[in-house]
Structure 1
Amino acid sequence: MTFLLFSFLLCLRGAFSYILYKNFISKKVVKIDGFVANQYKKKNYYVLKIKSKNLTFYTINRDDLKNLLNEDVSVKIFTKHISFKNYLFGFFAPSFDLKLKEPSKIEKYVENQHKNIKITNLYKALYFGKSIDFSTRKDLSTLGISHLFALSGLHLGFLSAILFFMLNPVYKFFQSRFFPYRNRYFDLGIFILTTEFLYLYFTNFPSSLVRAFVMETVIFISLIYLEKEPLSVLIWTFLISVLIFFEKVFSIGYFLSFMGVYYIFLFFKYFKPTFVNSLILSFYMYLVMFILGHYFFYNFNFYSFFSPVVNILFSVFYPVSIFLHLTGFGGLFDKVLQWYLNMGEKNYYVNVDFWILLFFLSLSFFAYYRKWAFYGINLFALIVILIKI
């Protein structure tokens, strides 16, 4: 019955997307507001990748453009020859009347605290879901910390933790005196999710953050309210994500974030959530995500072995950096960040074969039911790392 209901809802979701597509192409010219996610020169013209709330597309411009990365723009595009498939997954469209839009005051406030454009873009990616230039993305990938500067469930998790530890003692004080019958975790959860939704609105609903928010909402309802086991929670999260995001679920980013959550659940299935184990978790995640990450991304150098430590330090850096930017001292860590990024300039090619990935994913599935398989994925990942480097 559940399968039939899901299939029916999926068909409705597909039909809704197709109606949106037909409405989109019914106009020969469409004006789109978005931001420039990538820009590079090719012969005598520039290629621009533009992201809006609902669309991602490429276009070209023959003007002598300045660096428009992360700039808010409006552009008019011709919709002829855009297929339904390309509408869903990204398309190319001729365009004209490209116009720069005034950035928000908060973005200007952050920009004015930094002199280096690369560092500025790092913070804009961290806070507003903006893009990072190719060179910096490569350095981050080489160092194994790309996930830290791409808005995702990690950052929502930090935001949730910060809000919870700030509000929990205050709530307990009033609960003990005025409403002892209330479920503290449920009430705080609702407040935190509401705050995170406002953050999504503030950042213009970046797709990676919206997907993470949906995942967090489903996990909250299932674990706190319905008390479902973690594996069924993840399955329902995926199914609901398919209904909401449709084609966007089938992306590398979503796959890696989904598997990341799975491995975290897997870890705490066999280890209690203590402070020491939370530190061990960072090293464990580096180990199990190495195979997945290096199947898709090949850059590597030996400084990436320090990424588990950097992950731990990031839990302090992230809230501190927010506070520093709010008080006008956001540039305090700029030299340290630039020094660390420079370490990623030298890189090596490390590629994981498909059969290794397939075997690892299969063993990962059995690891949820058998403890020997859990230890097996860690040992197998370690062997792969030693062989590949």
Structure 2
Amino acid sequence: MNLFANFRQFSLFVAICMAIFVLNFYLEFRNYEKFKSSPYSFIKANLLFSDKRQGKSGDYYILQFKSDKFIFYTRSKDLPKCSSCEVGVITKNLKFKDYITSRFFLPSFKISDFDEPKSLTNRLKESIINQHTSTKIQELYSALYLATPISKELRQNVTNWGIAHIIAISGFHLSVIFIFIFFISNFTIKPLQDRYFPYINLRFYISLILFILMGFYLYILDFTPSFLRSYIMGVVGFLLLSRGLKVFSFGNLILSILIGLAFSVELLFSIGFYFSCFGVYFIFLYIYHFGNKEDLSSYKRIFIHTLALEIFVFLAMNIPVYYFFPTVSWYQLSVIPLAYVFIIFYPLSLFLHLIGCGGIFDEWVLKFIEFAPSQGRANVDLWQFIAYNILALLAIYKKQIMILLALLGLFVYIFALI
């Protein structure tokens, strides 16, 4: 069964989401006007990241701060010694289109220490950092578990390997955590259920508890866009599955996107949210054209479809990714086997950090991260990017168009390397 019985029900749902979106958009504009009411302001924020740069007049730092409402960047000649700071900023040139993204630049004129109790996120970050000596590894694990920003150098390293989507917390991480904990819980509680409460649907209640825990994790991550999309879709899928409704459909993807945009207007401008949605769209596209229930009865066919799906998503995502991040390397082909290695590495490294032994693999991880060089650049123009997105949406109607998407991605990838 489908969630909506007819187009009228779907239209009503879309109208409700649009009304909520417009209301939140209006509230954001009111907050912007209030923030701009004075030409300068003092903001209490946590220092997330600092990056040293070289300029014509000497070295300077690009600082990233996080307040209760947004993240902002500023420039400073000196590196602040505070982690919780009070930052004096100039707001008169801030545009609404920048403010609504919740990530923007503000000139600053004073940065001073601000004493306040450390948040749970900051305490977790300190715990991670204290288990490593290498700054790059500290950034890597902080990004991997807490979605913190990374330096330009580390970003280039992960881009060369093509594993930026593995480092950035998304649905992949949600799935790994969920499946790992679900398996452990089901294995340990099942004997008790068989003996004491066989009438309870154990899988339902374990899933329900896990989604509650994942919701708390989402809060710790400050509603990171890609993880937010994954969480919404996971909850929607869980509700649909528990009610016997169809899960794998483009309508449910649209439903999750609309819910996310309705309550978080800034997602409309998030590249991570776009990548996350497009990646799931390509998975559904493959299932739509090549999915066959009979293939699930054969391990050989399951393996073939899994491999084909990985290859298709990798190739189909090339043009959208290269438009924003043009670095190309032959090492990016290893992203498929690395994804399977990550399924083991991620929960293992998380467990090691929980017991205070997170630095065991630092030497090997650092060598691996820095091994892959940049070997080329892909040039994707704006009109090509837009045309490709339109073509991707039309691929719902024709399997041949879907195959063309993969071939175009392969062509751009190889052409950039030769």
What TM-score comes out, normalization by structure 1 length? Answer: 0.86
Among 205, 216, 219, the alignment partner of 1:198 is 216
> SS of the counterpart of 2:364?
helix
1:157 aligns with 2:175: yes
TM-fit CA distance, 1:265: 2.0
Amino acid at match of 1:56: I
Is the Cα contact below 8 Å between 2:80 and 2:111 reproduced in 1?
no
Structure 2 matches for 1:216-231, cutoff 5 A?
Answer: 216-225=234-243, 227-228=245-246, 229-231=248-250
User: CA 1:356–1:18 in 2, change beyond 3 Å: closer, same or farther?
Assistant: closer
> SS of the counterpart of 1:29?
strand
Which residue in the other structure is 1:189 paired with? 207
Among 18, 36, 51, the alignment partner of 1:7 is 18
TM-fit CA distance, 1:167: 2.3
Structure 2 matches for 1:272-283, cutoff 5 A?
Answer: 276=303, 277-283=305-311
User: CA 1:383–1:349 in 2, change beyond 3 Å: closer, same or farther?
Assistant: closer
Q: Which moved more, 1:253-262 or 1:169-178?
A: 169-178
Is the Cα contact below 8 Å between 1:40 and 1:47 reproduced in 2?
yes
Unaligned regions of 5+ residues in structure 2, if any?
A: 1-10
> SS of the counterpart of 2:133?
coil
Structure 2 matches for 1:33-182, cutoff 5 A?
Answer: 33-41=45-53, 42=55, 43-44=57-58, 45-62=60-77, 64-65=78-79, 73-89=85-101, 90-99=104-113, 104-170=122-188, 172-174=190-192, 176=194, 182=200
Amino acid at match of 1:85: K
What TM-score comes out, normalization by structure 2 length? Answer: 0.81
Is the Cα contact below 8 Å between 2:316 and 2:405 reproduced in 1?
yes
Amino acid at match of 1:86: D
User: CA 1:168–1:278 in 2, change beyond 3 Å: closer, same or farther?
Assistant: farther
Amino acid at match of 1:59: T
User: CA 1:35–1:239 in 2, change beyond 3 Å: closer, same or farther?
Assistant: same
What percent identity do the matched residue pairs reach?
A: 29
Is the Cα contact below 8 Å between 2:218 and 2:227 reproduced in 1?
yes
Distance 2:374 2:416 in 1: 17
Which residue in the other structure is 1:294 paired with? 322
Is the Cα contact below 8 Å between 2:328 and 2:413 reproduced in 1?
no
Which residue in the other structure is 2:363 paired with? 335
User: CA 1:300–1:386 in 2, change beyond 3 Å: closer, same or farther?
Assistant: closer
> SS of the counterpart of 1:151?
coil
Distance 2:201 2:392 in 1: 35
Distance 2:250 2:225 in 1: 24
Is the Cα contact below 8 Å between 1:36 and 1:72 reproduced in 2?
no
Which residue in the other structure is 1:32 paired with? 44
Q: Which moved more, 1:45-54 or 1:312-321?
A: 45-54
Q: May I ask how many residue pairs the two structures share in their alignment?
A: 386
Is the Cα contact below 8 Å between 1:53 and 1:204 reproduced in 2?
no
Structure 2 matches for 1:341-380, cutoff 5 A?
Answer: 341-380=369-408
Is the Cα contact below 8 Å between 2:131 and 2:358 reproduced in 1?
yes
> SS of the counterpart of 1:330?
coil
Amino acid at match of 2:261: V
Q: Which moved more, 1:290-299 or 1:359-368?
A: 359-368
Amino acid at match of 1:55: F
